[in-house]
Chains A and B, each alone.
Chain A
């Protein structure tokens, strides 16, 4: 298994995908943190607003999701899946190695985002709003931890989705349309929004939503923090199992 994880690391390192997606993560984080800092006027008085500055960094989950999708679909796109499966015929071992590898990569991405968020927000808050943001206050540490968990787990959800779909263009386009548009619409539809809390986006919201200045949403309900983590884990593993057990076993021609 160590060998397979090293193989995944070498695959990722030897092309440029990781760099551009990391850049996207960092840029999105910086953008959203700056927008929050520049537009909110209650930062000096509202501690929950301070926390929201940090949680806005969670949008970095989108590039992480794409990175996860590419982890499997790139192999199908360039047919490297053939030598990969010749070296490792067991789809289960392959997917397990990819999940472990991309959990580690996702964590690195998350840490990079957090560093950027802190580097921008802490001096800004201190100089403009006279807020001394520290980990202990304003529940900042739960926001930071939550972002790390969301970015990492969303990468694995993408990985499972990619393994299930196999086709890169379909997996990326459908995945992004769902995450960015469809999921947001589902929470507005009566009855459907009853199960909304079990969708990945709602899981991510559940992880960071306590203590938000926006308050609870009236349209739909969310699970607790741990429930949100569980939702993301189940989606990641469930899709991976479907991929390894079914679609990746289909004929590779």
Chain B
């Protein structure tokens, strides 16, 4: 961008366009999802969902696959009609925002391109439709690092390049609200790092950035706030500090663990004993626990801080809903009739496979096991 974009945090509230119904208080850049519901056939994709996204922050919109994230965003953008409730941006539903591309930049999937059209021509369609100057196209292509590929057809683009092109499209109108569905998918590590800095800069300029993702570690480094969704229901919303406050543990290992546990309880701490002389004491201060042990002459073999990170929080919070399922039908159960009879075929796996020395699957680690075991895996 040639000139730095205006700082939106101090914007004056513009008068609403004639004929538009103001649904919520018209705060520029604020996204309000208000009691939103959407039913597809018999599936309740979004269920009485309410949350607010304030300007000047990066908000992570989290949930497992099928939680209703994309449906919520599509309702917000007027592409899906809610069964109930309303979602607004700056107090207006999307259809009522005048020249919406200059207010909201949204990218819902990185596949919304005609394969035979070049990156530049793709964007030129939208500058024409929204009466934006065509030079914006080259500016946003520069911003996302696609300048040298501007005249290539999208057909030959990698997933990461498509993500960048989608992002470029959202920036055309220099909008104060950015809504991005899984923007980090397909980006290489350098691209993800770049994206992080990019979101931070946009939020620091006073814009609203709402980023959906199922990659928790990713969101943890990007987002200030998170909205966690599971099976169409709001699980938690708040800042990362709020959500993880008071959930850190100090891990100590001591031959005299029982006495240390008593002392910690007396000091008003929650203590979870693990076997083999290990204790988990709910605290974020290793010095405090070390001091407690030292003054009582208790020998310590380990003293460390265990952060309760977003991933653990996420599994803990979404596990309740998983437990609601009828026993015998875990969420990822195979449909009846699977595997078909005769499968796997006899002789499979072949003798000598897996080769000797190949590590057995880890009994504790891994995403899959954590999904299966729910909160228990989170310790």
Contacts and interface: CB of A to CB of B under 8 A. Distances in A.
Contacts of A87: 100-101, 126, 129-130
A202 B366 CA distance: 67
B129 A251 contact: no
B32 interface: no
B179 to A, nearest CB: 10
B130 A3 contact: yes
A7 B80 contact: no
A9 B129 CA distance: 10
B128 A10 contact: yes
B81 A249 contact: yes
B323 interface: no
Interface residues of A, number: 27
Q: Chain A binding site: helix, strand, loop or mixed by DSSP?
A: helix
A253 interface: yes
Contacts of A3: 128-131
Nearest to A11: B125
B222 interface: no
Most chain A CB within 10 A, of B79, B100, B113, is at B79
Contacts of B122: 14
Interface stretch (B104-112, B266-274, B306-314, B349-357): B104-112
B197 interface: no
A190 interface: no
A82 B112 contact: yes
Interface stretch (A31-39, A56-64, A72-80, A205-213): A72-80
B259 interface: no
Nearest to A87: B129
B152 interface: no
Most chain B CB within 10 A, of A3, A15, A87, is at A87
Given A10-B121, A252-B74, A252-B80, A89 B94 contact: yes
Contacts of B128: 3-4, 6-7, 9-10
Nearest to B106: A86
Nearest to B154: A78
Interface in A16-54: 16
Interface in B85-99: 94-95, 97
A80 B121 contact: no
A90 interface: yes
Contacts of B118: 14
Contact of A78 (B71, B104, B115, B169): B115
Nearest to A90: B95
Contact of A89 (B70, B78, B121): B78
Contacts of A83: 112, 126, 169
B125 A14 contact: yes
B112 A78 contact: yes
B58 interface: no
A151 B29 CA distance: 48
A134 interface: no
B111 A7 contact: no
Contacts of B95: 89-90
Contacts of A9: 128
B80 A16 contact: no
A78 B112 CA distance: 6
A251 B80 contact: yes
Interface string A232-253: 0000000000000000010111
Most chain A CB within 10 A, of B70, B115, B121, is at B121
Contacts of B40: 251
Given A3-B131, A87-B100, A82 B126 contact: no
Contacts of A4: 128-129
Interface in B105-154: 106, 108-109, 111-118, 121-122, 124-126, 128-131
A16 B70 CA distance: 33
A137 interface: no
A93 to B, nearest CB: 10
A135 to B, nearest CB: 38
Contacts of A253: 70-71, 74, 79-80
Nearest to B71: A253
A132 interface: no
B77 interface: yes
B126 A7 contact: yes
A85 interface: yes
A173 interface: no
A85 B79 contact: yes
B81 A251 contact: yes
A86 B101 CA distance: 7
B129 A80 contact: no
A80 B80 CA distance: 16
Contact of A82 (B79, B115, B125, B129): B79
A235 to B, nearest CB: 27
B229 to A, nearest CB: 17
9 contacts: A7-B129, A11-B125, A15-B114, A16-B116, A78-B115, A80-B112, A82-B112, A89-B97, A252-B74
Interface of B: 40, 70-71, 74, 77-81, 94-95, 97, 100-101, 104, 106, 108-109, 111-118, 121-122, 124-126, 128-131, 169
Given A14-B116, A82-B109, 11 more contacts: A11-B114, A14-B121, A14-B125, A78-B114, A80-B112, A86-B100, A86-B101, A89-B78, A251-B81, A253-B71, A253-B79
Interface of A: 3-4, 6-7, 9-11, 14-16, 74, 78-80, 82-90, 249, 251-253
